[in-house]
Structure 1
Amino acid sequence: MGSDAGCVDPQQVGSNDTIYSLRQVVDSLTDQDPGTGKIVPWLAKSWDINADATTFTFHLRSGVTFSDGSPLTAQVVKDNFDAVPDLGALGTLAQGYLSGLQNTEVVDPQTVRVKFKEPNAQFLQATSTHSLGIESSASVQKSPQEKCSKGVIGSGPFVLKSYVQNRSVNLAKRTKYAWGSSLWTKKGEAYLDKLVFKVVPEAGVRTGSLQSGQVDAIGSVGKADETALKRGQVDLKARANPGAVFNLGLNNSRPLLKDPKVRQAILFAIDRQQIVDAVFPTGTKPATSILAHTTPDYADLGADLAFDEAKAKSLLTSAGWKAGGDGIRSKNGATLRLTVTWFANAATNQPALELIQQQLKAVGVDVVLKEQQISQLAPTLQAGDFDAAWGNITRADPDILRSQYSTQLANFYRLPTSGLDSALTEQTATTDSDKRRQLVERAQKLIVRNAYTVPVVELQTQLGVAKKVHDLDFDASSRIQLHDTWIG
């Protein structure tokens, strides 16, 4: 893997590289079919949802245990959900999924009822995510910091054996495991005895390790290494991550970025296809919305994101920004300067941003790139200490827009209250799929046309996998589940 989030609690991580390992430690109440988007049984064998999607009743499988021997019960699920609000800065994904929670009720030892104050159509899909993976009651009682540094007890097919930050995550097979997702082909224990995830930041070193047989699979395949890998005993597996695409998340409270003309100029100044062709793996798509095309209810807004350098310059001129001798614009003695904060969790981040830096300079915007460690992502966003932050967020449900851009939630990007809020609130309050799709489309249009953020490119997860590795496939979130994987 290319990076390490510095945390081994599935409920507190959002970085793809780290999720690959931690997804194997916890089971979820449900799973999601990557082909259809349908929610299917896992720890819950069935569920009931009331007419307005405020109450979800889950009927748990019997016989499930955690790796410390304790049983899965309705009380354990309640303990997990009750503790999510206390996860702190790193628990924002899980907290968003459970926002508006009224209470979690133990109906009987194997039946748990989750009630929300308002309709919450997104919740069923949320129960399929790693962020709401179920941990033992003993783990839930630990502090978020202790869970991050030492890991958790899950009921998953693998158990965390050791973790050395920025170096490795080691997992061992859980013996007598017998309660996998209904999507898995193998019943019972996993095939593999152990999983070793090594943190190797350099793409070329990862590629060399795969070619020499030191490792069986690598993440974040470098574009320059694709041809060489295709010639060897390697399969390249790729799928676009659903959710919010890689974007420049603009801090809309900054004086410079309060002006919609400036935000829109930045949006039009970016040549997305050039960035894709120069930097990203073969098959990557330029952003055609704030949502990736693999997300349910995605709307194609490619025309609104077309590169138009002349339009960008015109918008900046009409906003009073005049070009100086060096081409950089200024207004009332202030330079048109944008600091973009980025994090070293993908090899494509720096070259993509350096190209964006050139493209924005061409219209008179001086871009300063500021690198930070991935562990600083949540604190930086929470503090609002940025002009623009480069990143994406994966989720196979369009409600990711509400958790990212509703002013009633974390509102990291400091959006003003607007009609976007009602569209985002209403889409999670309807059980009518057609109505929800219309509301999600409206939200996408409001985000893109107001340039509250600047979508750039879809994240395509590309793995290099040795041909001797079988049944390593993507789940609905374009991450991996290794229970069915075998080598031979």
Structure 2
Amino acid sequence: MVPTRPRRTNATAVNTPAVNATAVITTALVAALTLAGCAGPDAASGAGPDAASGGVPTDPTPGGTLRFALGAAPQGVDPQQVGTNVSIYVARQLADSLTDQDPETGEIGPWLAESWDVSDDLTRFTFHLRDGVTFSDGSPLTADDVRASFDAVAGDLGATAPLAASYLAGYTKTEVSDEHTATVVFDEANAQFLQATSTVSLAILSEETAAVDPAERLQGDVVGSGPFVLDSYTQDQGAVVTRREGYDWAPESSEHDGDAYLDSIEFTVVPESGVRAGGLASDQFDAVGDVLPQDVPQVEGSGGEVLTRANPGVPFVLQPNVTRPPLDDPDVRRALLVAVDRQELVDTVLSDAFEPATSVLASTTPGYADQSDLLASDPDEAGRILDDAGWKQGPDGIRTKDGEPLEIEVTYTPVFTGSGAVLELAAQQLRAVGIDLRLRQLTAAEQTTAQESGDYDLYYYNVTRADADILRTQFSTAQRNLSLREPDDAVDPLLDEQLGEADPAAREALVADAQHEILDQGLAIPLFELAQSIGVRGDVHGVTFDASSRLLFHDAWIEQE
């Protein structure tokens, strides 16, 4: 039997005697910020149906295959390249990170690294690796693997791993002192980096993996140290992962030490939410993703439960391409902000697990600042803004200016099952004020192509991360910059300055100002905060969420008959 242990709050890493005061301050900085972003008591911990019913079996039973129905196809299985939830559900099981962010306390604690030191100027992060960790091919995990992983992300891989690359902005090198000591060096202060080392995007892979072609890595040519190994991956169909024998370095936020309980997990792509729920009820699946409100009665009626947890980071937004008309007109963008009724989107299409967006950061994100006053639904005000800007109502209800109709296209891919319905309702709301919002559904690959070429009006997406630096990733002109705007003297300086600020209160103030400025310029039209909504059968236990609301299966198990 795999040993169990009671849940423990992650302790902050125990630093070596060489650590200085700033190192302690920086660790406290991350802990303080992440505590602000923890889900409230109403958010499910992901413990499984046993947590609600009180009928918790005392002895987890190893063995069995968990059949999981995904709502969309994974982009691939490389932890450093993928970004969608369904992709990370698979990829996260294959690889571990240097640190762990406790999902309950928000603290940064040890994982592959036992401890770390941080320099006064926040440019040098020295990680002391735990002994005895091995990759799935049997090779030991060493500081050379850390160096190779980060060198690859900062180098050629960065183009296909934008999130990971953004976390390593300003990366200079990784110095290897010995096989258990790696120092990551930046050319400027990088206050977000410690939290970044807990993310799947900076998971540590073998030195050999770093040399593999990125496309081959996406298809499964990756070697990690996680509790599962990849058995198979079929693009657009699913994946199978199997338990790795000898896994003995789970983070302290995990419920037990040692190997995973499950023999394997079969991930199958089932786009229709009703089919997923029906499959759970008829014992075709053990767990399903993206449970919509209409599916809840079927899940619960069959003895299952819906687990939910809010996602930190950037909520689902419409980000405008400000280089194309009519969105080059700031008045049009201002009208969009107040024309949308976010509460109606949640009440009509989603469920109580979701919240209307009240900023360009989700409310569970460290550094979130309430910007509800800029996002209050006011169709009359939207009409006045458009009237004053010269957009006049036409006979068909759609406004025109200089003979051009107020038509805007939103480019989206349905990685979240409810996206189409949300956008259709938003289109109805906008039409009521004279804006013709047209939906353009693409595959993930097609949307990436559109983004790279700038072929879109509004780009619909969300990004999950439990750190406010996600704003720099998405809105700095030096980073992803989906608005395609030129550098400015407002948003860019705020995002750059927060990256070098070690004082928690000062950094939070900068982030609050950045949120206000982004919305004031209409650089994002927030819609709703994503929540993970996972259906599990009554005999499934221990499916958990990490701090970024991604699924973990190390503690998962199925009651055996």
TM-score by length of 2: 0.86
Instruction: Check if 1:375 corresponds to 2:445.
Output: yes
Q: 2:139 aligns with which of 59, 70, 76?
A: 70
The equivalent residue for 2:384 is 314
Instruction: Check if 1:81 corresponds to 2:81.
Output: no
Letter in 1 for 2:102: D
CA contact (8 A) 1:52 1:430 kept: no
Number of residues paired by the alignment? 488
Mark the CA change 1:346 to 1:67 in structure 2 (over 3 Å): closer, same or farther.
Answer: same
The equivalent residue for 2:92 is 23
CA contact (8 A) 2:541 2:556 kept: yes
Q: 1:166 aligns with which of 232, 236, 251?
A: 236
CA contact (8 A) 1:236 1:462 kept: yes
Compute the displacement of 1:239 (Å): 1.0
The equivalent residue for 2:456 is 386
The equivalent residue for 1:475 is 546
| SS of residue in 2 equivalent to 1:12 | coil
Between the aligned partners of 1:154 and 1:331, the Cα distance in structure 2 is 56
| SS of residue in 2 equivalent to 1:150 | coil
How does 1:55-204 map onto structure 2 within 5 Å? 55-84=124-153, 85-204=155-274
Compute the displacement of 1:198 (Å): 0.8
Between the aligned partners of 2:478 and 2:269, the Cα distance in structure 1 is 37
Instruction: Check if 1:53 corresponds to 2:122.
Output: yes
Instruction: Check if 1:332 corresponds to 2:415.
Output: no
| SS of residue in 1 equivalent to 2:425 | helix
The equivalent residue for 1:6 is 75
**Could you tell which deviates more after superposition, 102-111 or 378-387?**
378-387
Between the aligned partners of 2:357 and 2:277, the Cα distance in structure 1 is 27
Between the aligned partners of 1:480 and 1:344, the Cα distance in structure 2 is 19
Compute the displacement of 1:48 (Å): 0.4
The equivalent residue for 2:558 is 487
Q: 2:293 aligns with which of 215, 223, 228?
A: 223
Between the aligned partners of 2:202 and 2:377, the Cα distance in structure 1 is 39
Compute the displacement of 1:378 (Å): 2.9
Instruction: Check if 1:281 corresponds to 2:351.
Output: yes
Between the aligned partners of 1:327 and 1:407, the Cα distance in structure 2 is 36
Letter in 2 for 1:297: G
Between the aligned partners of 1:256 and 1:4, the Cα distance in structure 2 is 33
How does 1:233-382 map onto structure 2 within 5 Å? 233-382=303-452
Between the aligned partners of 2:369 and 2:152, the Cα distance in structure 1 is 35
Letter in 2 for 1:278: T
Between the aligned partners of 1:254 and 1:37, the Cα distance in structure 2 is 41
Between the aligned partners of 1:90 and 1:209, the Cα distance in structure 2 is 35
Between the aligned partners of 2:393 and 2:486, the Cα distance in structure 1 is 29
Between the aligned partners of 1:266 and 1:255, the Cα distance in structure 2 is 14
CA contact (8 A) 1:382 1:412 kept: no
The equivalent residue for 1:450 is 521
Percent of aligned pairs with the same residue? 48
**Could you tell which deviates more after superposition, 96-105 or 226-235?**
226-235
Compute the displacement of 1:303 (Å): 1.9
Compute the displacement of 1:103 (Å): 1.2
Q: Extract unaligned runs of 5+ from structure 1.
A: none
CA contact (8 A) 1:415 1:452 kept: no
Post-superposition CA distance 1:145-171 (Å, at most 9, x none) = 110123411110000000111112100
| SS of residue in 2 equivalent to 1:288 | coil
Between the aligned partners of 1:429 and 1:158, the Cα distance in structure 2 is 37
CA contact (8 A) 1:5 1:374 kept: no
CA contact (8 A) 2:158 2:164 kept: no
| SS of residue in 2 equivalent to 1:314 | helix
Between the aligned partners of 1:89 and 1:361, the Cα distance in structure 2 is 38
Structure 1: 4+ residue segments shifted above 6 A: none
Q: 2:511 aligns with which of 434, 440, 444?
A: 440
Between the aligned partners of 2:305 and 2:221, the Cα distance in structure 1 is 32
Q: Extract unaligned runs of 5+ from structure 2.
A: 1-69
Compute the displacement of 1:182 (Å): 2.0
| SS of residue in 2 equivalent to 1:11 | coil
| SS of residue in 1 equivalent to 2:93 | coil
Between the aligned partners of 2:221 and 2:271, the Cα distance in structure 1 is 22
Letter in 2 for 1:144: P
Between the aligned partners of 1:483 and 1:131, the Cα distance in structure 2 is 19
Compute the displacement of 1:88 (Å): 4.7
Between the aligned partners of 1:249 and 1:81, the Cα distance in structure 2 is 30
**Could you tell which deviates more after superposition, 224-233 or 443-452?**
224-233
Between the aligned partners of 1:88 and 1:45, the Cα distance in structure 2 is 27
The equivalent residue for 1:460 is 531
The equivalent residue for 2:101 is 32
**Could you tell which deviates more after superposition, 370-379 or 202-211?**
370-379
CA contact (8 A) 1:327 1:361 kept: yes
Between the aligned partners of 1:234 and 1:22, the Cα distance in structure 2 is 26
CA contact (8 A) 2:189 2:499 kept: yes
Q: 2:302 aligns with which of 225, 232, 257?
A: 232
The equivalent residue for 1:425 is 496
| SS of residue in 2 equivalent to 1:192 | coil
Compute the displacement of 1:343 (Å): 0.1
CA contact (8 A) 1:471 1:484 kept: yes
Mark the CA change 1:233 to 1:151 in structure 2 (over 3 Å): closer, same or farther.
Answer: farther
The equivalent residue for 2:31 is none
Post-superposition CA distance 1:56-78 (Å, at most 9, x none) = 00000111111111111111110
Post-superposition CA distance 1:365-398 (Å, at most 9, x none) = 1111101002233332222111001110000100
**Could you tell which deviates more after superposition, 396-405 or 413-422?**
413-422
Instruction: Check if 1:41 corresponds to 2:110.
Output: yes
CA contact (8 A) 1:281 1:460 kept: no
Between the aligned partners of 1:67 and 1:52, the Cα distance in structure 2 is 37
Letter in 1 for 2:116: W
